[in-house]
Amino acid sequence: MSCLRSSWVMLIAIAAFVIPGGHPQAYASAQTVQTQDNLTEEQMRDFLLKAQVVGSKQGGKGVTSPYRLTLKDGNMVHDGSFQAVDEQKTSRQFDNGKTEANFRDSYKYNIAAFEVAKMLGLGDMMPVTVERKWESKIGSLSWWLPVMMDEEKRLSKHTEPPDRNAWNKQLNKMYVFAQLVYDTDRNAANLLISENWHLWMIDFSRAFRIYASLENPKNLVMCDRQLLQNLRQLNAAELEQKTKKWLTKDEIKGVMARRDKIVTFFDDLIAKKGEQAVLYD
């Protein structure tokens, strides 16, 4: 997959500069991996599926926080984020007082989101993610990315991206994708930024609600021309074939229904404002 190949080239080019002083294994991995250019999605996938786990550390405070695993295969070492959460509740109350019916938080959605992103040409905005068993738990395992900061930090520090227009183009792709997969947790800590201001989307464990409506249509402002084209062509049978291991039939139906809504929304907007104001390349 060429987009992933190029993102990998970019990723290795910056990896060595990102982590000094940070996680020691990650630094070692950046150096080791740096010598292996042209890693394809298949190679990363293979590594994530087969490499031996040689280290682990749980990330945040919560019980559902993912583990940062260090993996080794031959002379290659790299980290991955392992998330095994798989919860279902008829109703869940949040700290802000809101409740959500049919709440689900599942590692399965991390894998499904990556599969859907690839179908839409957005594979280079997400880490390669596979299903993997570790310590008798099944979960998602994502390629560890070289991160300069996350969007939460960028906003709190009022750091302006060097190219605002290019940045907005990435944000708009993310907003469209978040509406498609009905992500209820697209918070700024789930947006990671690498040294060259590439935007990565992680953590879709609370996405894929079954609703046909859009979660927040106000977030739809402009759309990448190719992305809109790919949305038009999104095929239900292919989507099912690629995601049925992780999504229910109703969750897949939800994606297709929201796809229709997003396409109609942008077609209407183009009719009103003109293509120039809505689509970008």
- Residues forming contacts to Mg ion in the complex (CB under 5 A) are 190, 203
Rounded least distance, CB 10 to ligand ATP, Å: 15
Rounded least distance, CB 36 to ligand ATP, Å: 18
Rounded least distance, CB 196 to Mg ion, Å: 23
Measured CA to CA, the distance from residue 142 to residue 25 in angstroms comes to 16
Measured CA to CA, the distance from residue 157 to residue 153 in angstroms comes to 6
Rounded least distance, CB 64 to ligand ATP, Å: 4
- For ligand ATP, which is the closer residue by CB, 79 or 251? 79
Candidates 58, 64, 156, 216: give the one binding ligand ATP (CB under 6 A).
64
- For Mg ion, which is the closer residue by CB, 119 or 125? 125
β-partners of residue 103 are 89
> Which of these segments, 29-37, 96-104, 189-197, 236-244, binds ligand ATP (CB under 6 A)?
189-197
Measured CA to CA, the distance from residue 67 to residue 95 in angstroms comes to 24
Given Mg ion, ligand ATP, none, residue 60, with its beta carbon under 5 to 8 Å by kind, binds ligand ATP
- For ligand ATP, which is the closer residue by CB, 204 or 265? 204
Q: Restricting to residues 192-231, which ones interact with ligand ATP according to CB under 6 A?
A: 192, 202-203, 205
Given Mg ion, ligand ATP, none, residue 64, with its beta carbon under 5 to 8 Å by kind, binds ligand ATP
Measured CA to CA, the distance from residue 121 to residue 114 in angstroms comes to 11
Given ligand ATP, Mg ion, none, residue 59, with its beta carbon under 5 to 8 Å by kind, binds ligand ATP
Candidates 30, 72, 84, 127: give the one binding ligand ATP (CB under 6 A).
127
DSSP category for residue 122:
-
β-partners of residue 70 are 55, 79
Given ligand ATP, Mg ion, none, residue 140, with its beta carbon under 5 to 8 Å by kind, binds none
- For ligand ATP, which is the closer residue by CB, 115 or 150? 150
Given Mg ion, ligand ATP, none, residue 147, with its beta carbon under 5 to 8 Å by kind, binds ligand ATP
- For Mg ion, which is the closer residue by CB, 142 or 190? 190
Q: Which x/- pattern over 133-162 shows residues binding ligand ATP (rule: CB under 6 A)?
A: ---------xxxx-x--x------------
Instruction: Work out whether 39 is an interface residue with ligand ATP (CB under 6 A).
Output: no
Buried/exposed code over 175-193 (b: 16+ C-beta within 10 A; e: otherwise)? bbbbbbbbbbebeeebbbb
Residues at the contact surface with ligand ATP, assessed by CB under 6 A: 59-60, 62, 64-66, 81, 83, 85, 127, 142-145, 147, 150, 189-190, 192, 202-203, 205
